[in-house]
Amino acid sequence: MREHWRLAALTAYYWATLAARKRRLRHWAIVGIAPVTILFYHRIHEDRATPWTTHPRAFLRQMHWLLERADLVSLQEAQKRLLAGNFSNRPVVAVTFDDGYEDNLRAALPFLIDHGVPCTYFVTVENVLRGRPFDHDARYGAAPRPHTPEQIRGLAESGVEIGSHAWSHCDFGQWNDDETRRQLGDSRHALEDMISAPVVRFAFPFGRPENAPPLAIAAARHSGYVAVCTAHGGYNVPPCEGFVLRRFHGDDPWIRMANRVTVDLRLLRRSAPALPDAVPAATPPEFAAEAAWAATPDRAAPAGAIPIQNALSSCLGPNDPISAPSSACQVAAYEDPCVESLRG
């Protein structure tokens, strides 16, 4: 019942602030600092057997809503915008999945492929190779099957980006250097053998800050990955390198997804945001070209029209061994989304 009231309050808050959010997003877009939201899902199935299982009806409702109102982009495009500026005045959203459940072949993946929704699918290799259900599902008395290697290959051939979710679904906060390197490297090579294509992105299992320590992030970079994803919530705000990508749960009710995707200022303010609170009343003349461009449907990067490019140097600290985003990029990192008091 408590959750019911919480969602009711969130719904009222969402509708009360929606117009202001849209206005704010338009202004951020003018200067290229509109946040990029990355969602992650796990398993789509009617049985709701685990807390990370989403009903297909709920998932399809979210996807239809996003198709209408957001720019759905690949992680590659998301990273490009983080580096060069995001000038879209619509929410920019990337869709990802973790673990690798065979059940996603029933409704979720066919829908995404049919509708051209870019998707990155992070797969835990050991479960796929051995056909072994995930330990975290056993706690709920469930044992949904992982994909087979053939299915993973088929997904890659259908345009789904395959990423690594480690060799075993392990906690990187617990491993020593050797095991960390093995989990990162072996999983990548096994997946590349499986799909005969490069695997360049990684998602940390569990994904809280303590499960993705700086040394593991550095090791991922040295293993050849171009991005790592966490799972403790937060927006990605340009300009930044975008090597560490923050993600929000998509498994939640629609209103939470809509609230996050349209940029909830409360979540954005949880850490030092780079975004201006007070937005200019009118477009400054020096940004007129960007404003006109941002309003066009085809938003290829405008040549030489990125006023924030110089700020990149502050994001890519030369003394930082992993070039982790600076505080300007660490926006709205908050605790695990399952922590009730922090949910938005």
**Cβ proximity of 249 and 234 under 8 Å:** no
Helical packing angle, 254-261 and 2-30, nearest 10°? 20
Amino acid symbol at 267: L
**Site mask, Zn ion, residues 128-167, x = CB under 5 A?**
----------------------------------------
Q: What is the rounded distance in angstroms from the CA atom of residue 139 to the CA atom of residue 228?
A: 27
Closest CA to 67 of 22, 114, 104: 114
**Cβ proximity of 236 and 78 under 8 Å:** yes
The two three-digit tokens of residue 283, written as one number:
């477009």
Least distance to Zn ion, CB of residue 90, Å: 29
Q: Rule CB under 5 A: which of 177-236 touch Zn ion?
A: 205
Q: Decide whether 71 or 99 has the Cβ nearer to Zn ion.
A: 99
**What is the Cα 323 distance to its own chain's centre?**
19
Least distance to Zn ion, CB of residue 319, Å: 33
Q: Decide whether 98 or 252 has the Cβ nearer to Zn ion.
A: 98
Q: Which of 99, 137, 161, 241 binds Zn ion (CB under 5 A)?
A: 99
Least distance to Zn ion, CB of residue 196, Å: 24
DSSP structure string for 259-277: HHHT--HHHHTTS---S-S
Q: Decide whether 26 or 132 has the Cβ nearer to Zn ion.
A: 132
Amino acid symbol at 55: H
Q: Decide whether 31 or 216 has the Cβ nearer to Zn ion.
A: 216
Q: Which of 25, 32, 98, 332 binds Zn ion (CB under 5 A)?
A: 98
Residue nearest to Zn ion (CB): 98
**Cβ proximity of 75 and 121 under 8 Å:** no
**Site mask, Zn ion, residues 257-296, x = CB under 5 A?**
----------------------------------------
Least distance to Zn ion, CB of residue 140, Å: 14
Least distance to Zn ion, CB of residue 124, Å: 7
DSSP structure string for 181-200: HHHHHHHHHHHHHHHTS---
Place of tokens 């408590």: 2
Contacts with Zn ion by CB under 5 A: the residue count is: 3
By CB under 5 A, is residue 126 in contact with Zn ion?
no
Binding residues for Zn ion, rule: CB under 5 A, are 98-99, 205
